Amino acid sequence: MRKRINNRAWLMVLPVLFLVAMSAVIPLMTVVNYSVQDIFDDNNRVYVGLEWFIQIIRDPELHAALWRQILFSANVLAIEIPLGILIAKAMPRRGSVATGLLIFFAIPLLIPWNVVGTIWQIFARPDIGMAGMSLTSLGLDYNYTANPVDAWFTLVAMDVWHWTSLVVLLVFSGLRAIPEAYYEAAQIDGANRWQMFRHIELPRLKTVLGIAVLLRLMDSLMIYTEPFVLTGGGPGNSTTFLSQYLTRMAVGQFDLGPAAAFSLVYFIMILTLCWLFYSLISPAEEQTER
Amino acid sequence: MKQSQSVVANSVIFVYSCYLILPLYWLFSMSIQSSQDITTNAGWYPKSPTMANFQEIFTNPVWYEGFLNSLTYVLINSTISIIVALPAAYAFSRYRFLGDKHLFFWLLSNRMAPPAVFLLPFFNMYSSLGLFDTPLAVALAHCLFTVPLAVWILEGFMSSVPRQIDELALLDGHSFVHFFCRIFLPLIRAGIGVTVFFCFMFSWVELLLARTLTASAAKPIAVVMTRTISASGIDWGLLAAAGVLTILPGLVVVFFVRNYLTRGFALGRV
């Protein structure tokens, strides 16, 4: 059955529209405003056109942060998505064991992000942390506050710890929705495990995997709190990602103009990526919604 | 196919579980030791367990007020989000209207906005409204990502209720409001539960906005924790105890929605 056309439905959307406009559109306008002005104080502002944009596009530190960001996001996606599929496939499909495992796996997702940072700080410190002490006693020279490679390793391990469960939960719910008959038919046809995964499970997981990749991509591009607590962006700038760099510019140095210009570019970048991705997965979504 | 738990599958689950539990065990173990013990006498298990850290948190107003502040804005946020998202989600799931698809994506796009982008304008806006340093400011700011999420999840759950039910109820002479509150809402109560859970979760875990929009009166627990770090050295035991306590509310809510958890994470779309 098709949805009815009813333009009065707009009335029901109005409250959301109002609220989101208050908390998104007005602030965004302010950002646009800042990005083209040089502000000394409330009564003293000069229109500077695209100057701030040119400045940030030429900022070598920003380029470095961008590359680190891309590397980080690619890294965690490449680990979390396959690992999540693997774990979801290894879980029993039904029963109380499955429910228990789900609740247990969900725990990292419910911990405040700064506490995730704190947990890994306590866990990884070479002097008092379990992982840190173990690595040191194995004779490895491990110190995430001094060595950039160790810092990266710790950050990725932390993100995998924090977010793999999200992928597991999504894939698990997708797997559970596959009717038993599909497997039986495949078995009669003599399909092996890989063929079953490739031709039966994977196509039916398209929607949930789409959501998983979309969420992980967005959130990893915005990561701020966990590295802020764990490494503070260091050692040096080696774990300073885009959000961190932006926050430092805006709140730390009060460079309103460049920070606003950077904000816009940052937002548009994420939006474009997600829009591309959203239009890739939405045909699949239409099918399941019917 | 009979689901057979092979040795390989079990060991995958076992290894992942260990990976999840070890940092949590370490946090807990730290929380019941004194700072003295932690720095001088570290071992695989607490040698002289003490509840002193928890006692400090429950008796020191800075700590327990931090918890109360956080819970306050999380509750306000969940309430607002649900109330505005319900009619909107119904509209998206039942009707086609001018610009509906664009509107839906635009809502989603707010979920993609890096909070760091909105720091300055939020700070200015809530300061000029006189809301700075109140739980309401944080609750409204968090609506930026909880409301789109709520609309998204509720829309998914509502779309799985057949549209014939609406039409039958209206044919039977129920008014729309009566139908919506008495018939429709009970049908999607699982969805509402899951939505509350997600609003709770995303508001509870956020730090950046909460930190920027509060100074002293409405300081959330997460900020109390980060400011303890920058003050006089680090009291690891106390920090760990606070960390343990921040995990508990999440555990409570996840228990209530355990049967709908996977569906919620798939945003009601499975």
Are B13 and A4 in contact (CB < 8 Å)? no
For residue A48, being part of any structural domain is answered with: no
pLDDT of residue B159: 84
- pLDDT attached to residue B74: 92
* pLDDT for position A245: 86
How many angstroms separate the Cα of A193 from the Cα of each of A88, A89, B172? 15, 11, 52
Q: Is the confidence at residue A43, as pLDDT, over 80? A: no
How distant is the Cα of A14 from the closest Cα of chain B, in angstroms? Answer: 8
> Which positions in chain A touch B111 (Cβ < 8 Å)?
218
Instruction: Please tell me the predicted confidence (pLDDT) of residue B266.
Output: 64
Quote the pLDDT of residue B80. 93
Q: Give CA B140 to chain center in angstroms.
A: 14
| A contact test, residue of B7, B149, B265 with most A CBs within 10 A | B265
Query: In this predicted structure, what is the pLDDT of residue A287?
Result: 45
Query: At residue A203, does pLDDT exceed 60?
Result: yes
Nearest CA in chain A to B159: A289
Q: Is residue B47 part of a domain?
A: no
Higher pLDDT pick, A110 / B233: A110
For residue B208, give the CATH number of its domain.
1.10.3720.10
Tell which wins on pLDDT, A178 or B80: B80
Quick check: is B240 in a domain? yes
Contact A115 B24 (CB under 8 A): no
What local confidence, expressed as pLDDT, does residue A110 receive? 86
Contact A102 B27 (CB under 8 A): no
Mark A28-64 as b/e (b = at least 16 C-beta within 10 Å). bebbeebbbbeeeeeeebeebeebbbebbeebeebee
CA B44, B46, B50 angle in degrees (round to 5)? 165
Which residue from A13, A103, A105 is facing B255, i.e. has the nearest CB? Answer: A103
**Is residue B35 one of the residues assigned to a domain?**
no
Per-residue pLDDT tens digits for A153-176: 999 999 999 999 989 988 888 888
Chain B residues closer than 8 Å to A186 by CB: 1
User: Structurally, how many domains does chain A consist of?
Assistant: 1
Cα A214–Cα A218–Cα A221 angle in degrees, nearest 5 = 140
Question: What residues of A are in contact with residue B9 (Cβ under 8 Å)?
Answer: 89-91
pLDDT for res A180: 83
State pLDDT tens for residues B45-99.
787 788 888 988 888 888 888 889 999 999 999 999 999 999 999 998 888 888 8
Tokens read off for A24: 């998104």
Q: Which domain holds residue B249?
A: 53-265
Inter-chain contact A119–B24, Cβ cutoff 8 Å? Answer: yes
B42/B34 Cα distance (integer angstroms): 11
Q: Is the pLDDT of residue A233 over 80?
A: no
Residue B112, domain member (yes or no):
yes
pLDDT-derived band at A42, boundaries 50, 70, 90: low
**DSSP letters spanning A211-222:** HHHHHHHHHHHT
Mean pLDDT confidence for B131-147? 89
Which pLDDT does position B228 carry in this prediction? Answer: 62
Give the integer Cα–Cα distance in Å for A130 and A134: 6
At residue A67 the predicted structure's pLDDT band, cuts being 50, 70 and 90, is very high
Q: Is residue A36 part of a domain?
A: no
For residue A88, the model assigns a pLDDT of 92
A257 pLDDT above the threshold of 60: yes
Mean per-residue pLDDT of chain A:
84
Top pLDDT among A275 and B76 is at: B76
> Each residue of B16-57: pLDDT tens digit?
999 999 999 999 988 888 877 777 766 777 877 888 889 888
Q: Give the domain extent around A176.
A: 60-251+262-289
For chain A, percent of residues with pLDDT exceeding 70 = 94
Q: What angle do CA B99, B101, B103 make, to 5 degrees?
A: 65
Q: What's the pLDDT tens digit per position in A123-140?
A: 988 888 888 888 888 878
According to the model, what pLDDT value does residue B14 have?
A: 93
Would you say residue A39 lies in a domain? no
Count structural domains, chain B: 1
B154 at interface of A, judged by CB pairs closer than 8 A? no
pLDDT of residue A239: 85
**What are residue A217's phi and psi, to 5 degrees?**
-65, -50
User: Highest mean pLDDT range out of A232-236, A244-248, A286-290?
Assistant: A244-248
Q: Does B221 touch chain A (CB under 8 A)?
A: yes
Residue B2 lies in a domain: no
In a domain, B38, yes or no: no
pLDDT at residue B229, as a whole number: 57
Q: Which amino acid is at A37?
A: Q
At B197-244, the pLDDT tens digits run 888 888 888 888 888 888 877 888 877 887 665 455 677 888 888 899
Look at residue A226 and tell me if it is in a domain: yes
Q: Which value does ipTM take for this structure?
A: 0.84
Q: Which residues contact A195 (CB under 8 A, 6 or more apart)?
A: A186
Is residue A29 a part of any domain in this protein? no
Cβ-based burial of B234 (10 A; exposed 0-12, middle 13-18, buried ≥19): middle
pTM higher than 0.90 for the full model?
Answer: no
CA A38 to chain centre: 33
Name the helix (H) or strand (E) containing A40. Answer: strand A37-41
A144-151 own/partner pairs: CB under 8 Å, 24+ apart: A144/A230, A144/A231, A145/A231, A145/A234, A145/A235, A146/A235, A147/A235, A148/A235, A148/A236, A148/A238, A148/A239, A151/A231, A151/A234, A151/A235, A151/A238, A151/A239
Mark yes or no for CB contact A256/B96 under 8 Å: no
CATH of the domain at A138: 1.10.3720.10
Please check whether residue B138 lies inside any domain of the structure: yes
Is A32 domain-assigned? no
